Amino acid sequence: MLQNKNESSSLSSIHKERKWLFDIVINQRIGKELFLKKLLKEGDKSTLEFLEAYPELTSPLSVHLINQLERKGIVQAKERLSLIRYQLMTQEIFDKFLSLFKETGSDVNQRQINYPLFFRCSLSTNEQFVTKVLQWIEKRFTNEQLIVIENFLERLSSTNNQFHLEILPNHFESIEGIINIAFNHLQQSTNTLKIIINYGILLLQRAEHHLNKQQKDQIQAFATKIIKQ
CB 108 within 8 A of CB 39: no
How far apart CA 201 and CA 211 sit, in angstroms, is 19
What is the per-residue pLDDT for 186?
Answer: 86
Q: What is the DSSP letter of 71?
A: H
pTM of the entire structure? 0.85
Overall average pLDDT of the 205-216 stretch: 90
CB 55 within 8 A of CB 61: no
Write the pLDDT tens digit of every residue in 161-199.
889 988 999 999 999 999 999 999 988 889 999 999 999
Q: Which of 18-22, 104-108, 212-216 has the lowest mean pLDDT?
A: 18-22
What is the per-residue pLDDT for 27?
Answer: 67
Please calculate the CA angle 79-63-110 and round it to the nearest 5 degrees: 20
What is the per-residue pLDDT for 69?
Answer: 93
| Percent of residues, the chain, with pLDDT higher than 90 | 66
Residue of 93, 110, 117, 201 lying closest to 147 (CA atoms):
110
Overall average pLDDT of the 115-140 stretch: 94
What is the per-residue pLDDT for 6?
Answer: 37
Overall average pLDDT of the 15-25 stretch: 65
Residue of 97, 55, 104 lying closest to 78 (CA atoms):
104
